[in-house]
Amino acid sequence: FPMPAQTRRAFLASAAASTAGAVLPVLWRSPVHAAAPHEVQLRVAPGRTRLMPEPSGEIAAWCYGGTVPGPEIRVRQSERLRVVVENGLAEETTVHWHGVRVPHAMDGVPHLTQKPIGAGERFVYEFDAVDAGTFWYHPHQRSFEQVERGLYGPLIIEEREPAHVDRDVTWMLDDWRLTKSGAISEDFGNRHDIHHNGRVGNTVTINGRVPDTFAVRAGERIRLRLINAANARIFSPDFTDLQPIVIALDGQPVAPYPPDGGLVVLGPAMRADLILDMTGKPGRRVSIFDRFYEGLEYKLVDIAYSDTPLREGAPDWPLALPANPLLEPDLETASRNEVVFTGGMMGQMVAQGMGEIMGPGAPGGMTRDMNSMMGGGMMQMMNSSTAWFINGIAADQARHDMKPALTLARNKSHVIAMTNATAWHHPIHLHGHSFRVISRNGQPTRHREWQDTVLVSPREKVEIAFVADNPGDWMFHCHILEHQAGGMMAVFRVA
Ligand code: C2O
Ligand code: CU
């Protein structure tokens, strides 16, 4: 506790002298400590984790606080969080608070917002929890290896008045690439993964365990917080039979709606909060399949109703969450910026296709500039080990002097039009801000969702809008961590 020992002793003494013991905890939380941050110790170190019950199911991994996922950090909105990170790895690391609007110095990006935390060193992160919602934390140093080895954990910021549910459940989804002997395959960041769809694994886990059944009670209302912590796998669990309602995306509330076809599509780093009312009879079983990759669907988990119902029917508690304090972008006055993604295998072919689809006459068509930027990108790709380009430039992870790709006027509204001229999906993440997804291929989006990571399909053009109210140099990158390693990142300056 930050309270000086003397004050603390005096306080304890007076509290003990003047009150019965039972009152003490209440006093302890009252004004004296209201401003003290919620403090968490987080040690990063090699450890072991059990993915499956079998004897061979325990593997060597890297852990936050000794576990995979790391401990669920929970604070109340507008509380201050302080995390003391101690690096027990033999290499540098950082912690990034994905989706949380933190001040620049707390963002955990090596060389851009801080010096990486060396082996044996400590770093203290401290920030206010401005937005309520479902967030997560992970390293931003060699993420394609560190996250893959198990470094990730949930960060839940509770609403001041939490939504009324029977159970608040977090599922961190991940996949692992295991060798025949069950260890983590150490082919991190190989050329093939970088140039294709990233490191998609062969073993899917929920909260670090190969899932079996998830027990529920009839009539129960569950808030299910889904977090995709995988390097590259896109999840699309099919909850049709449970009539899911989406109440938040990437931590930010949306007007509640049932997802199309019951599918909840989550690119890497994305989150969704669902309300599931467990209607149906005791003893019911529902299998949840993941249907993102055509022909590769698999059963994610079985939902098993116990024999004892909680209530008849579903509760009628309200679903909508209170809005977070985000500034509404003004589209009339917003400045417009174009960003084009190129590269990857078959990049050239797709680039030509894009030229045809989006040629000069097409709305929002490519400019000659964009075409030549893509051409430049292709040349660079053939001549080097980089694979992916943002406006023709592949970032080199080994260099620490990234120049801003865009400079955005502070406290002004901005639209970023992103064109995916590749044959691959890219979950695109902007640090320090949440943005509205306003259109896809020229069509306004139905939910105008606030996100911090937006999944952009092959050949798709997506427009986002936000007020650049957080000053600093911010990362903008693909959250397929192998794509990021292959150059798909840039810096946006807010000044
Ligand atoms: Cu979740 Cu730049 O990261
Ligand atoms: Cu990508």
pLDDT value of position 46? 98
Q: What is the pLDDT of residues 77-101, one digit of tens each?
A: 999 999 999 999 999 999 999 999 9
pLDDT value of position 43? 98
Q: Domain 5-158, CATH 2.60.40.420 — does that match?
A: yes
Residue list, CB under 5 A from ion ligand 2: 426, 478, 480, 483
pLDDT level of residue 397 (50, 70, 90 thresholds)? confident
Quick one: which atom of ligand 1 is closest to the CA of 98? 1
The least confident of 138-152, 368-382, 391-405 is 368-382
pLDDT level of residue 311 (50, 70, 90 thresholds)? very high
Is the model's pLDDT at 320 over the cut of 80? yes
Quick one: which atom of ligand 1 is closest to the CA of 138? 1
pLDDT value of position 380? 45
pLDDT level of residue 7 (50, 70, 90 thresholds)? very low
Quick one: which atom of ligand 1 is closest to the CA of 453? 1
Distance 58 CA to ligand 2 centre (A): 31
Which three-class secondary structure string do you get for the chain?
CCCCHHHHHHHHHHHHHHCCHHHHHHHHHCHHHCCCCEEEEEEEEEEEEECCCCHHHEEEEEEECCECCCCCEEEECCCEEEEEEEECCCCCECCEEECCCCCHHHCCCECCCECCECCCCEEEEEEECCCCEEEEEECCCCHHHHCCCCCCEEEEEECCCCCCCCEEEEEEEEEECECCCCCECCCCCCHHHHHCCCCCCCEEEECCECCCEEEECCCCEEEEEEEECCCCCCECEECHHHCCEEEEECCEEEEEECCHHHECCECCCCEEEEEEECCCCCCCEEEEEECCCCCCCEEEEEEEECCCCCCCCCCCCCCCCCCCCCCCCCCCCCEEEEEEEEECCCHHHHHHHHHHHCCCCCCCCCCHHHHHHHHHHHHHHHHCCCCEEECCECCCCCCCCCCCCEEECCCCEEEEEEEECCCCCEEEEECCCCEEEEEECCEECCCCCEECEEEECCCCEEEEEEECCCCEEEEEEECCHHHHHCCCEEEEEEC
Residue nearest to atom 3 of ligand 1 (CA): 98
Quick one: which atom of ligand 1 is closest to the CA of 489? 2
Counting ligands in written order, which one lies closest to the CA of residue 143?
A: 1
Q: What is the pLDDT of residues 416-450, one digit of tens each?
A: 999 999 999 999 999 999 999 999 999 999 999 99
Query: For a pLDDT cut of 90, what percent of the chain falls above it?
Result: 78
Residue nearest to atom 1 of ligand 1 (CA): 98
pLDDT value of position 178? 96
pLDDT value of position 385? 56
Residues near ligand 1 with C-beta < 6 Å? 96, 98, 138, 140, 269, 429, 431, 475, 477, 479
Fold of domain 167-305: Immunoglobulin-like (2.60.40)
Is the model's pLDDT at 355 over the cut of 90? no
Distance 88 CA to ligand 1 centre (A): 22
Give the start-to-end residue ranges of the domains of the chain. 5-158, 167-305, 335-494
| Average pLDDT, integer, range 446-466 | 97
| Average pLDDT, integer, range 327-331 | 97
pLDDT value of position 233? 97
Q: What is the pLDDT of residues 8-59, one digit of tens each?
A: 333 333 333 333 333 232 232 333 445 689 999 999 999 999 999 988 899 9
Q: Average per-residue pLDDT in the chain? A: 87
pLDDT value of position 293? 85
Distance 302 CA to ligand 1 centre (A): 31
Greater pLDDT, 262 or 470: 470
Quick one: which atom of ligand 1 is closest to the CA of 109? 2
pLDDT value of position 161? 84
Q: What is the pLDDT of residues 203-213, one digit of tens each?
A: 999 999 999 89
| Average pLDDT, integer, range 243-272 | 96
Distance 156 CA to ligand 2 centre (A): 26
pLDDT value of position 25? 28
Distance 154 CA to ligand 1 centre (A): 14
CATH of domain 335-494: 2.60.40.420
Is the model's pLDDT at 368 over the cut of 50? no
Distance 436 CA to ligand 2 centre (A): 20
